[in-house]
Structure 1
Amino acid sequence: MSWWLWSLGRVLLLLKVAASVNFLHHRYEQLVQALYDVKGSCPYITRLYSIGRSVQGRHLYVLEFSDYPGVHEPMEPEFKYVANMHGNEVLGRELLIQLAEFLCEEYRHGNQRITELIHETRIHLMPSMNPDGYEVAASQHQQTLRDLMGRNNANGVDLNRNFPDLNTVMYHNEKHGGLNHHLPLPDNWRNQVEPETLAVIEWLKSYNFVLSANLHGGAVVANYPYDKAHEQRTRGVWLPTSSPTPDDNLFKKLSKGYSYAHGWMHRGTNCGDFFPDGITNGASWYSLSKGMQDFNYLFSNCFEITLELSCNKFPPEQELEFEWLANREALIAYIEEVHHGIKGMVTDDNNNKVAGAVISVEGIGHDITSGEQGDYFRLLLPGTYTVTASANGYQSQTERVVVGPAGPSVVSTEAKLKTPIS
């Protein structure tokens, strides 16, 4: 009962103040203006930056929310939302604009929940990863064409099939021994990706993201890794088959965290498909190669899911307010998931911070690493865990930790690595 009361309390906190927002589709210039307007309204908790440019030269803007914008505070996790990767899947783009305005307004009105979230989390919102494709989709006047035009970038490339294929490396390592985390990029990877993909990869390398969601359209479901299956061919047809990660139970919990906070995603039936609890393993739905959510998990510390938010990829403006109200609590609740698990600092016996230390959890075959300032964040379900920190040239340290039951739960630990006596 206490869990439901706590969840109800979170919703009521959001209902206390209603931000004044405009529900319309934003072309590129309008999108940029909307982001600058939020920055101007909340200059002390926001930063607007670009991670690069599209094929046609449009900025890939990100709006950051933090009590110290532009600064990574040790022990404060980094979170990101990315939308409009497919240019004709536009609801996520509008939701992130609404979310930015909402966070700003609620902070200004003293909403305790939002204030704590911004003070304890560094939040990055990218409304459009494919602004060129969006302009193509938005220029179409017939609704049927919007589902066909603008999906790809200006070079005609599907950006969610454009990341380096680390799944193949991982599946090879599973058979022959090797890592399934922080996999190296192929030597010629820069020549194989589009400018938008390149910008996101460099972004991942520059920030120690912990949790992320990629906002799409065309269905209503929370989709979690792996997206690429161990391909099984029957009479020339690739059959869907579930491909769980070592963190499968955690990814299910993260996905349900969104679907159950959503207005109706958790009901499971939509767009002609049925998804129990409103979630699905990506490969069990359909297998795809070179996708962004698998790349996040295999290349970095970031755990990402894909949110399919609307059966209609380009919903009419009169539906945008309904969609915002259906997704608002879920968008906030999912950000709060970044604070479930353990976090800590890794230092040596002289109190120097150790970057790149490997954090292993017994029984879960997927490691994360400490950031440049020695801090680390490991998302975990409630339970008791044996956690080991190790780094080259040091003696490893192992600690037993307990993650509490549902609700906000972060266990802070400190790993003190000792230099071996030679």
Structure 2
Amino acid sequence: MWDLVPWSPVRDRTWAPWVGSRNLWVLVVGRSPKEHRIGIPEFKYVANMHGDEAVGRELLLHLIEYLVTRDGRDPEITNLINSTRIHIMPSMNPDGFEAVIKPDCFYNEGRDNSNFYDLNRNFPDAFEFNEVPRQPETVAVMKWLNTETFVLSANLHGGALVASYPFDNGVPATGTLYSRSLTPDDDVFQYLANTYASRNPDMKRNSCRIKTGFSNGIINGYSWYPLKGGMQDYNYIWAQCFEITLELSCCKYPRKEKLPSFWKDNKDSLIEYIKQVHIGVKGRVFDQNETPLSNVTVEVQDRKHICPYRTNKFGEYYLLLLPGSYVIEVTVPGHDPHLIEVTIPPKSHNFSALKKDILLPFRGQSDHISESNPLCPRIPLYRELEGHSAATKPSLFLFLVTLFHILFK
């Protein structure tokens, strides 16, 4: 039902020391913890990439205990484990966590890793060059993302109370002239952030009592502050995984007696957020001989990604979508796009997205994909790009608000 695995960036399946001789550990909870099963989406939580932000680390340890002790006793948790493969990394920066000697609410030496790099500024960036040396922890996570078909994720932080969604960085094509940077899936990201924040009373009302632009506990990352080399943008662009960032505590390293209250405030949100991996549509793509096709582009017609979302080595695709009607465009090299109409029902049924297998009317290539989006280079991708989605185009109201601020601030 569960399996504990250390991740190393050095050699496949060989667990080597980290910067400070500490491994990164991932616990996998599911009916098939050691390997992916077709039709079962992959979900992950990652915490403590800033070593001094300790609340997320503790919450994920509580979550592990909660899941494994209620399996078979709680129908909701049992169904969730039956239908989902859940990966939990309590600490992405164990060296930083151990470096905290005199905990402080606002700043500690353990924020960075042992090489003094901020891991949430260390990933390739789609909007500008990020030439900092890639750290072992970052490399390990990037390799991990290439080994699994992750669909949904959250990255747990501390120091504020808000659910932040992509993009963290941006260019005019994504809406930065209007103090935001939006993905083609902005409706889904706002829904995901609201799903978490709405079940956390302190997050919803911004109990940190600091002046922010948070609305009901959520904010677009760029609107809060631009960030280069962040993990959530990397997940969405290169790993086909929708990730949001959860800021879970006003104090980064609170006293231990406060921890039970954090679990009480976040338990329902943590569980409900995992369930969202089952929204939208999923399935497999086959050629006329019913051979599953890997590395085939499968995207909604009016919300294409700058790194096209492709089927995995089993021919699977997963698209997170809100209820409504969509046209899915399937593209195989050398053939015209194949269009499929789907209607997502108002509510997912039995912890499953709408299942829609696609049979193409020709014989295709069945070469397995070797890595996530191999044709998408890890360099700035959004330069000189026109607006890629209707979501990035400003409304008249937003234009007038922006003009007002320019003229009268």
Q: Which residue is equivalent to 1:18? A: none
Identify the match of residue 337 of structure 1 among 276, 282, 286. Answer: 276
Tell me if 1:317 matches 2:225. no
TM-score normalised by length of structure 1: 0.79
| Pairwise CA distance, 1:229 | 3.2
Identify the match of residue 272 of structure 1 among 210, 222, 244. Answer: 210
| SS of structure 2 residue aligned to 1:87 | coil
Tell me how far apart the structure 2 counterparts of residues 407 and 267 of structure 1 sit (CA, whole Å). Answer: 29
Identify the match of residue 417 of structure 1 among 360, 369, 374. Answer: 360
Tell me how far apart the structure 2 counterparts of residues 399 and 212 of structure 1 sit (CA, whole Å). Answer: 27
| Pairwise CA distance, 1:261 | 1.6
Identify the match of residue 141 of structure 1 among 102, 107, 111. Answer: 102
RMSD (CA atoms): 2.2
Identify the match of residue 339 of structure 2 among 384, 394, 398. Answer: 398
Tell me if 1:94 matches 2:51. no
Tell me if 1:167 matches 2:127. yes
Tell me if 1:307 matches 2:246. yes
| SS of structure 1 residue aligned to 2:216 | helix
Contact 2:288–2:363 (CA under 8 A) maintained in structure 1:
no
| SS of structure 2 residue aligned to 1:326 | helix
The 5 Å alignment of 1:63-78 reads: 63-78=27-42
Tell me how far apart the structure 1 counterparts of residues 70 and 209 of structure 2 sit (CA, whole Å). Answer: 33
Q: Which residue is equivalent to 1:256? A: 194
Q: What are the Cα deviations for residues 322-371 of structure 1, in whole angstroms up to 9, with x where unaligned? A: 00010000000000000000001111111111111111202213242111
**Which piece of structure 1 moves more, 77-86 or 263-272?**
263-272
Higher strand share: 1
TM-score normalised by length of structure 2: 0.81
Q: What are the Cα deviations for residues 176-199 of structure 1, in whole angstroms up to 9, with x where unaligned? A: xxxxxxxxxx9xx8x930000000
Identify the match of residue 85 of structure 1 among 43, 46, 49. Answer: 49
Unaligned runs of 5+ in 2: 9-16, 365-409
| Pairwise CA distance, 1:394 | 4.7
Q: Which residue is equivalent to 1:121? A: 84
Contact 1:393–1:419 (CA under 8 A) maintained in structure 2:
no
| Pairwise CA distance, 1:396 | 3.9
Larger RCO (alpha carbons 8 Å, 6+ apart): 2
Count of paired positions: 349
Cα–Cα, structure 1 residues 249 and 318, in superposed 2: closer, same or farther, change >3 Å?
same
| SS of structure 1 residue aligned to 2:328 | strand
| SS of structure 2 residue aligned to 1:150 | helix
Q: Which residue is equivalent to 1:51? A: 7
Q: What are the Cα deviations for residues 209-247 of structure 1, in whole angstroms up to 9, with x where unaligned? A: 000000000000000000013389xxxxx9992111111
Q: Which residue is equivalent to 2:161? A: 220
Percent of pairs with identical residues = 42
Q: Which amino acid aligns with 2:247?
A: E
Q: Which amino acid aligns with 2:170?
A: A
Q: Which amino acid aligns with 2:97?
A: Y
Tell me if 1:378 matches 2:307. no
| SS of structure 1 residue aligned to 2:248 | strand
| SS of structure 2 residue aligned to 1:381 | coil
Contact 1:210–1:301 (CA under 8 A) maintained in structure 2:
yes
Q: Which residue is equivalent to 1:157? A: 117
Identify the match of residue 62 of structure 1 among 5, 26, 50. Answer: 26
Tell me if 1:199 matches 2:143. no
Unaligned runs of 5+ in 1: 1-44, 170-185, 233-237
Q: Which residue is equivalent to 1:353? A: 292
